[in-house]
Amino acid sequence: MLHLPRWQTIAIIIFTALAGIFALPNILPDSVDDLLPKWYAQNRINLGLDLRGGAHFLLEADLRGVLNERMTNVADSLRGELRKKQVAFKEVAAEPNGHVTVELRDEAQRATAIEAIRAVDPSLVAAGTGPVIDISFSDQELTRKRKEVIDQSIEILRRRVDETGTLEPTIVREGSDRILLQVPGIKDTTELKSKINQTAKLTFHLVNENVAAASGGGLPAVLPPTTFLVPTREGMQALKATNIKAYDEIQSANPRLTPEQICRRYHPPCLPVFKRVVVGGEDLDDAKATFDQQQGGRPIISFTFNAAGGRSFCAATRQNIGKRLAIQLDNEIISAPVVQSAICGGSGIITGSFTPQQTQEQALLLRSGALPATLTIIEERTVGADLGADAIHAGTVAALVGTGLVMFFMFGTYGPLFGGFANLAMAVNLLLVLAGMSVLGASLTLPGIAGLVLTVGMSVDSNVLIYERVREERANGRSALGALTAGYERALTAVIDSNFTALIAGVLLFGFGSGPIRGFATSLSLGLLTHLFTATIFTRMLLATWMRWRRPTELTL
């Protein structure tokens, strides 16, 4: 049991040395790290929000706005379905309370109208009496849709905030309509807030040329129910140049203002477009910032649709040659080109008055996806680096004191030799944990430091089991070599069982926990895995080497 081939001993030493190399950047000063290769120096443990400071946001999702938008689409689809079934109606209106009201001309067609409603969306519930039908979603469907919106928003926020996967943000649900966002290491939150506030919703709409011609470039007093007003990007830039106060009011009021409210209240140049979405941003496959070499290298955004989006875009452009197709991004029409021919390649470009930085930002937002709901920051806090430094100091002192007490106990109980072996294995275990967290890019939080301290205690626990078993075997009359061999063999099962049961708890904490709990679970689980190596392999190598060198007849346990 204690005999190890030479190649295994060499492999263990090399593995331990590599762990030390990968853990080294965590203890080197920044001035030294700057001189090292970037790929090596960046293998450092990310400190969590409570250790290095950062931004804390509590966001509220506008679920009512999502529901109203959904019901507006239901109303538009229902008009077409009722006409298809030849059901005469006076009005189909989306109400601000998340309902759609249908008023029929003939009450006898009510059953046919309800069939049309179910054809649009089987989850819709029809109520009311007489010629008026009140349409809404059931409570179960509303709950499902709310959860879907929040889950999708969390995933999109994660892609926007941490596209490279190195920041380790905490993004979790709070209640039914709120999201907690914590990003460590952020000092200036301006850029972060711009990523949060922009919905980045890309849609393609046809311009209502009849309304545009009748209004003569002005704002029409009355719009058809199928049409709404959207300001153009050039119009918003002109408003910014001529009336900066109004422009700032719009920016501060966003995302509360709708595009039509902006047009009516501040009178920038606007276009009347049909509410029906020709192609939506959900069909966008990729978006990149590039330059148009044919137009003097001006910044543009190139985009690619998925298969479904490419087919829809091809059909829409083929059927509307000679008409303007408005490209709406959030509350602005960034371009409204005339369709010259069918575009069936599944890709295209977006041109406009962009700067290179704007194209990079917009491409990132489009690539990460549109937020299904507008997010409003209702609480903002910044954790200073000074508080983080205090937390690091307190955690470091606690870890050193705990480690020192454990080492003192092992030396006092098992002597300088076997206690030294256990303490060396504990130090290697900590080294492996630091190396593993560095390679994985895991975040270390204050609870994570607690997990490391707990790992220290558990790492010597296995040595205690083994040493006590060796004492028993020696008391039963076995030789020194026989007692060590039997002690390892018979304690190994208990060591593996105890560590795996604790590992199961750590995995469950990581899977079901969030934020600091996951930080604790990460350091604990990684420490348990490395501890299995140090307790069953590394310590055995030390004892085997010592036995071959000294060939003792007595054990000082």
Domains along the sequence of the chain with CATH: 6-51+385-550 (1.20.1640.10), 64-142 (3.30.1240), 198-379 (3.30.1360.200)
In tens, the pLDDT along 95-143 reads: 888 888 988 888 888 889 888 888 888 888 888 888 889 988 888 888 8
Average pLDDT over residues 389-401: 76
Q: What is the pTM of this model?
A: 0.52
Please provide the average confidence, as pLDDT, over all residues in the chain. Answer: 81
pLDDT for 229: 92
pLDDT at 201 over 80: no
What is the SS3 assignment for 230? Answer: strand
Kindly tell me if the per-residue pLDDT of 376 is higher than 70. Answer: yes
Q: What tokens does 291 get?
A: 């330059």
pLDDT at residue 239 in the model: 87
What 8-state DSSP symbol labels residue 537? I
Kindly tell me if the per-residue pLDDT of 388 is higher than 80: no
Task: State the Cα–Cα distance between residues 419 and 417, nearest whole angstrom.
Answer: 5
Bridge partners of residue 350, in order along the sequence: 301
**What type of residue sits at position 7?**
W
pLDDT digits (tens, 9 = 90+) for 249-308: 887 765 567 888 888 888 888 999 998 888 877 677 777 778 877 667 778 778 787 777
Helix (H) and strand (E) counts for the chain? Answer: 19, 19
Stated as kind and residue range, the H or E segment containing 37 is none
Contacts of 294 (CB under 8 A, 6+ apart): none
- The answer to whether 127 and 136 have CB atoms below 8 angstroms apart is yes
Tens of pLDDT, residues 523-550? 888 888 888 888 878 888 888 888 888 7
- The predicted-structure confidence for 204-252, as pLDDT tens digits, reads as follows 889 998 888 877 667 777 888 888 899 988 888 888 888 888 888 887 7
Q: Is the predicted pLDDT of residue 166 greater than 60, yes or no?
A: no
Residues 6+ apart with CB under 8 A from 137: 67, 98, 123, 124, 125, 145
- Rounded distance between C-alpha atoms, residue 399 and residue 450, angstroms: 8
Asked if 117 and 140 touch (Cβ cutoff 8 Å), the reply is: no
User: Over 60: is that where the pLDDT of 164 sits?
Assistant: no
* pLDDT (tens digit per residue) in 64-78: 888 887 888 788 788
Q: How much is the pLDDT for 199?
A: 65
Residue 367 — very low, low, confident or very high, per pLDDT cuts 50/70/90?
Answer: low
User: According to the 3-state scheme, what is the secondary structure of 304-353?
Assistant: EECHHHHHHHHHHHHHCCCCEEEEEECCEEEECCECCCCCCCCEEEECCC
Highest mean pLDDT among 25-34, 245-254, 412-421: 412-421
* Residue 514 clears pLDDT 70, i.e. is over it: no
pLDDT band at 387 (very low <50, low <70, confident <90, very high): low
Beta bridge partners of 142: none
Is the bond preceding 516 in cis, omega lying within 30 degrees of 0? no
Q: What is the rounded CA–CA span in Å between residue 521 and residue 452? A: 10
Angle at 128 between CA 100 and CA 74, to 5 degrees: 20
| Separation between Cα atoms, residue 486 and residue 224, nearest integer Å | 89
- Cβ atoms of 177 and 60 closer than 8 Å: yes
For residues 269 and 5, which has the higher predicted lDDT (pLDDT)?
Answer: 269
Give Cα separations from 363 to 167, 356, 366, 470 (angstroms).
20, 11, 5, 65
Closest CA to 275 of 224, 347, 202: 224
- Could you tell me which residues are beta bridge partners of residue 333? 232, 328
Q: Could you report the per-residue pLDDT of 456-481, keeping only the tens digit for each?
A: 777 788 888 888 888 888 888 888 78
Question: Higher-confidence residue: 372 or 85?
Answer: 85
CA–CA distance, 305 with 322 (Å, rounded to integer)? 22
Q: How far is CA 419 from the centre of its chain?
A: 45
pLDDT above 80: residue 330: no
| CA–CA separation, 483 and 553 (whole Å) | 11
C-alpha count within 13 angstroms, C-beta hemisphere, residue 385: 4
Q: Contact at 8 Å (CB) between 281 and 303?
A: no
174 strand-pairing partners: 178
